Amino acid sequence: MSASVRALVLAALLVASAVRAAPPREWVLGPTGRGAAQWTEREGRLIYRGGATVGWALVKDTSVSNGFVQVRFRSVGGREDRAGGVIWRWRDPRNYYVARAHALAGNVQAFRVVDGRRDDLVPQGGATGFDSRGATSRAWHTLRVDFAGAEFLVSLDGRRLFTVRDDALEGPGAVGLWSKADSVTEFERFEYSAD
């Protein structure tokens, strides 16, 4: 084996070992607020079809303090909302972080939910326009959050959008998916990793 082939094999092994993403095995599904979240699984996809103020899907028995969470998703319907997002540091339906892309509003935002109250997380530098630059209905997108301590980096389709800081929910929590209201959102390729 030539030196260049060995170098390529070694580089591939290093990249593969650097990302230890775990595919979910079992979901815990539920609603927050009014209504009943309508979740279905089909052909390796988890699909939210509205029904609740907020619908969430958590990977059963996860506890992640620092790491990343990402999902490929597309918003295919909804008159009021067309949103899909990821959850991290979930304690219960009243305490967690979420980043979501909203096709109708044309933005990506991060929130904290503490004691049932949802507050925007303002990006560092005070930016207020969280333009998703192409997160449109019916198109597939990848939303990712890298989180370490109180700092969270939000990316869409491989492009870093913004960083936020918040220390309201420190320590480990579950990870998962998020949608809301009458959104019809398909999710696939959910990944997460703990540092």
Q: Domain boundaries in the chain?
A: 22-194
Whole-model pTM: value is 0.85
Tokens in use for 67? 């790491």
Q: Given this model, what pLDDT does residue 4 score?
A: 42
16 confidence band (pLDDT: 50, 70, 90) = very low
Residues 67, 147 contacting (CB under 8 angstroms): yes
134 confidence band (pLDDT: 50, 70, 90) = low
Burial 101-124 (b: 16+ CB within 10 A, else e): bbbeeebbbbbbbbeeeeeebbbe
Asked if residue 144 has pLDDT above 60, the reply is yes
Q: Given this model, what pLDDT does residue 52 score?
A: 96
Rounded average pLDDT over 126-143: 73
Rounded average pLDDT over 52-76: 97
For domain 22-194, the CATH superfamily is Exo-inulinase; domain 1 (2.60.120.560)
Three-class HEC string of the chain:
CCHHHHHHHHHHHHHHHHCCCCCCCCEEEEEEEEECCCEEEECCEEEEECCEEEEEEEECCCCECCEEEEEEEEEEECCCCCEEEEEEEEEECCEEEEEEEECCCCEEEEEEEECCEEEECCCCCCCCCCECCCCCCCCCEEEEEEEECCEEEEEECCEEEEEEECCCCCCCEEEEEEEEECCEEEEEEEEEEEC
Asked if residue 8 has pLDDT above 90, the reply is no
